[in-house]
Structure 1
Amino acid sequence: MQPIGWVLLILAIILIIIIIKNFQIVPQSHAYVIERLGAYKTTWSTGLHLKIPFIERIAKRVSLKEQVVDFPPQPVITRDNVTMQIDTVVYFYITDPKLYAYGVENPIAAIENLTATTLRNIIGDLELDNTLTSRDVINTKIQVILDEATDAWGIKVKRVELKNILPPREIQAAMEKQMKAERERRAKILDAEGDKRSQILVSEGLKESAILKADAIKESKIREAQGEAEAIMTVQKAYADSLKMLNEASPTDKVIALKSLEAFEKAADGRATKIIIPSEIQSMATLAATLKEMVSDKNIDISPKSEQQAQTTETNS
């Protein structure tokens, strides 16, 4: 091969290498800012691209993902002249790679300085107590101001968070004492509520126990009364059955007289002071003799009473 052939071969290889190296693949969620002869030409999005060698160059590789920047604490002064340290966290993403590349020299430093300035302005209008209790309000105000200011840089501020608010040491000590007192107060309230609940439960238990005991006594008395009533009914029924059987048996006069004597014997054993004897019984000599003997044993006097045609015996006990 002639020397000229070797030269052409080498040039061809170099040209192929240059062309291959100028093929660029832009990954997902990224964008490349392209310059041609030092001036902005275009912005490459995700995919395969070819730039002109020695004429075009990649001026800036930009990530379109949401980014988080944690800025160091900044000294701020409240309206009541209390100096405190506040550090912030800013969440943002790039909306326009061209503005991000050419809008400001150092976007992150610009955001940090703008955040510090905005924070001082907002905190300067608040007192210490409001600063400690108004984080959400402060976050919203800073986010609105930063978002409006960074539009010219191709940046969208998503949100801003106050990470730490550090007041002076003496104020921190006072706050810790206050927080401790508040915790103790809440603990006492919880203990008191627990004791109250416990007493309520005990009272309810005693009340339910008394109700159950009263119900048990009531049920016992009801059952006892029912038992007595059933016993009385049983006795009365037996007595009625005996009378019915006696009537069905057609008793003779002697049997009736015997039953009468048994009844008078029970009456004499009682506390009655007057006994009325039917006249039919007077005609029975045997019954009179028996009755006289019985009355003499019981100290009862018997005297006739013709108006009533009955025999009456009075005994003064």
Structure 2
Amino acid sequence: MYIVLGVIVIFIISLFFTVKQQTSVIIERFGKFNSIRNSGLQLKIPIIDRVAGRVNLRIQQLDVIIETKTKDNVFVKLKVSVQFKVLQDKVYEAFYKLEYPHDQITSYVFDVVRAEVPKLKLDDVFERKDDIAIAVKRELNEAMSTYGYDIINTLITDIDPDIQVKNAMNRINAADREKTAAEYEAEASRIRIVAKAKAEAESKRLQGQGIADQRREIARGLVESVDVLNKVGINSQEASALIVVTQHYDTLQSIGSDTNSNLILLPNSPQAGSDMLNNMVASFTASNQVGEAMKKAAKKKSSEDDQEA
């Protein structure tokens, strides 16, 4: 009695089974395809029906690493990530027509990559990796759609050249950056030199302008001093000599007022100012005499020329 009851319970339990979300179950009856069951509580006939397999409907990813050669004879490894899923309305084809989908996808990825990369140089592989990925996706979609698979996306996630080539590229990039840095440093140095030269030129210009203004004011002061002396009966030559002597004594006084000055004027004596004044007066007198003599000679020659004419 208990044995029969236990058999009945097992039979009833065998009638039901569950299917998880995003999964399809293949039911076969006596070894022949019967139906596809989707998520939820399902019913089958014990002994007669059996679960032949389960098909995952979620998006899956397969990473494929391929080694190939570029147009410039550089060996490079590419990692291609393929995202795919089984179409819900083609579960039958995915289960019965293709036994090893990962191997099939890998073969197509190898075929496309090894057809596209040898057409490109290494630098172009980095720049056009998206084009290679699009070509892989297009080829896979054409091939795998027959078996109920949809290729969602293909990504080239890594490009790894041969280690020696990688080191050479790093050295080239480092040398190029050093060259750029040297150019910037040279340009900065040139700008500093030009700015310094402009500043010095402006300083010299302002210094020269200051000296010119100073000399102009000195000359104006001398003219005013001579005019004042002329008004009191001192002629221009005597006034000039007096001014020079006065400046001489002013210079001596300025030097003497500086306790840290080490300047010595040679020759110098208490009679130096008087001697200077006498020498200047004598020079002016001699200059006037020479000038008068030259005027007389010129006048005499002009008279003789008129008489001969």
> Which residue of structure 1 lines up, in the alignment, with residue 49 of structure 2?
56
Q: Residue type matched to 2:52 in 1?
A: A
- SS, match of residue 80 in structure 1: coil
Shift of residue 168, structure 1, vs aligned partner: 2.1
Residues 206-263 of structure 1, C-alpha deviation per residue, up to 9 Å, x if partnerless? xxxxxxxxxxxxxxxxxxxxxxxxxxxxxxxxxxxxxxxxxxxxxxxxxxxxxxxxxx
User: In structure 2, do the counterparts of structure 1 residues 93 and 190 end up closer, same or farther at CA, with 3 Å as the change threshold?
Assistant: farther
Q: Residue type matched to 2:26 in 1?
A: V
Q: Residue type matched to 2:45 in 1?
A: I
Normalising to structure 2: TM-score of the pair? 0.56
- SS, match of residue 124 in structure 1: helix
> Which residue of structure 2 lines up, in the alignment, with residue 112 of structure 1?
106
Matches within 5 A, 1:62-77: 62-71=55-64, 73-77=65-69
- SS, match of residue 175 in structure 1: helix
Q: Residue type matched to 2:5 in 1?
A: A
User: In structure 2, do the counterparts of structure 1 residues 173 and 14 end up closer, same or farther at CA, with 3 Å as the change threshold?
Assistant: same
> Which residue of structure 2 lines up, in the alignment, with residue 143 of structure 1?
137
> Which residue of structure 2 lines up, in the alignment, with residue 132 of structure 1?
126
Answer with 1 or 2: which has the greater Rg.
1
Q: Answer whether contact 2:20 2:40 (CA < 8 A) is retained.
A: yes
Shift of residue 165, structure 1, vs aligned partner: 1.6
User: In structure 2, do the counterparts of structure 1 residues 187 and 61 end up closer, same or farther at CA, with 3 Å as the change threshold?
Assistant: farther
Shift of residue 108, structure 1, vs aligned partner: 0.9
Question: In the alignment, which of 68, 73, 78 is matched to residue 81 of structure 1?
Answer: 73
The structure 1 segments of at least 4 consecutive aligned residues displaced by more than 6 Å after TM superposition are: 188-193
- SS, match of residue 4 in structure 2: helix
The number of residues matched between the two structures is: 193
The structure where helix makes up a greater share of residues is 2
> Which residue of structure 2 lines up, in the alignment, with residue 259 of structure 1?
none
Listed as ranges, the gaps of 5+ residues in structure 1 are 1-5, 203-317
* Whole-angstrom CA distance in 2 between matches of 1:177 and 1:152: 49
Matches within 5 A, 1:1-317: 6=1, 9-71=2-64, 73-95=65-87, 96-184=90-178
> Which residue of structure 2 lines up, in the alignment, with residue 258 of structure 1?
none
Normalising to structure 1: TM-score of the pair? 0.54
Q: Residue type matched to 1:91 in 2?
A: Q
Q: Answer whether contact 2:108 2:139 (CA < 8 A) is retained.
A: no
Q: Answer whether contact 2:74 2:165 (CA < 8 A) is retained.
A: no
- Alpha-carbon RMSD across the aligned residues, in angstroms, is 2.9
Shift of residue 91, structure 1, vs aligned partner: 0.6
**Percentage identity across paired residues of the two chains:** 29
User: In structure 2, do the counterparts of structure 1 residues 13 and 192 end up closer, same or farther at CA, with 3 Å as the change threshold?
Assistant: farther
- SS, match of residue 119 in structure 2: coil
Listed as ranges, the gaps of 5+ residues in structure 2 are 196-309
User: In structure 2, do the counterparts of structure 1 residues 171 and 42 end up closer, same or farther at CA, with 3 Å as the change threshold?
Assistant: same
* Whole-angstrom CA distance in 2 between matches of 1:190 and 1:103: 65
Shift of residue 130, structure 1, vs aligned partner: 1.5
Q: Residue type matched to 2:106 in 1?
A: E
